[in-house]
């Protein structure tokens, strides 16, 4: 029986892609570095911010910390106004919450950033636990975030589904012993998600209502 749902945030609950790409490119411009393509940046969404700059741009190693600081300074003005919930997210969360399921979030962004966005988007009330990149030593796809949330919830893996839009999310859930559900409307394609053999892939967020009935 499903009792717990652990959600990724970026690309799963909220469409943050355009804001992240533009904020990353603005950071690179301000630092006088070559601007990475949309596609290269998008491929790293879901990883911790420093790792996104390391893998998704040509930022020199010695300037990665500077890039993170600059990005966070620009984020409120560039990314937040472009962040919206995917279709059906508030209504579906309300249904799942009313059914008594415990909802949690495991994110690669900072805890402060997550809480701010949840408040802006008006969905914080549906979640009982949160785990962010600054809460664990090993980022996704390591299982640390999911394991931390299950410990806090007193949850068992067989009663928990992890939902995310990248193989990093699905790998985290699988390594934690949970069933996993990919969403095809985020930052990675259905084919990329299918390659790691998730238990489900959905094309619309409200499909979670049926999946979680069992």
> Which residues form the catalytic set?
8, 10
In a 10 Å sphere around its CB, with 0-12 CB exposed, 13-18 middle and 19+ buried, how is residue 112 labelled? exposed
Q: Edge-to-edge, what's the strand order for the sheet holding 179-183? A: 129-131, 102-106, 4-7, 160-164, 179-183, 200-202
CA-to-CA separations, 80 to 10, 83, 95, 158, in angstroms, rounded: 12, 5, 26, 35
Pairwise CA distance, residues 103 & 4, whole Å: 6
């Amino acid at each position: 029986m499903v009792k717990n749902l652990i959600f990724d945030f970026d690309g799963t609950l909220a469409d943050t892609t355009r804001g992240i790409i533009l904020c990353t490119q603005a950071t690179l411009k301000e630092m006088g570095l070559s601007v990475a393509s949309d596609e290269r940046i998008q491929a790293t969404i879901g990883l911790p911010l420093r790792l996104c700059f390391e893998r998704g741009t040509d930022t020199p190693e010695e300037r990665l910390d500077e890039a993170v600081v600059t990005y966070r300074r620009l984020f409120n003005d560039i990314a937040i106004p472009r962040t919206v919930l995917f279709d059906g997210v508030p209504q579906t969360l309300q249904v799942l919450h009313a059914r008594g399921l415990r909802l949690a979030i495991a994110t690669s962004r900072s805890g402060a950033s997550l809480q701010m966005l949840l408040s802006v988007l008006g969905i914080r009330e549906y979640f009982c636990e949160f785990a962010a990149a600054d809460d664990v030593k090993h980022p996704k796809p390591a299982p640390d975030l999911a394991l931390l949330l299950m410990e806090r919830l007193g949850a068992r893996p067989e009663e928990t589904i992890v939902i995310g839009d990248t193989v990093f999310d699905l790998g985290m859930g699988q390594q934690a012993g949970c069933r996993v559900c990919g969403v095809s409307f985020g930052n990675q394609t259905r084919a990329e998600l299918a390659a790691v053999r998730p238990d489900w892939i959905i094309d619309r967020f409200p499909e979670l209502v049926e999946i979680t009935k069992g």
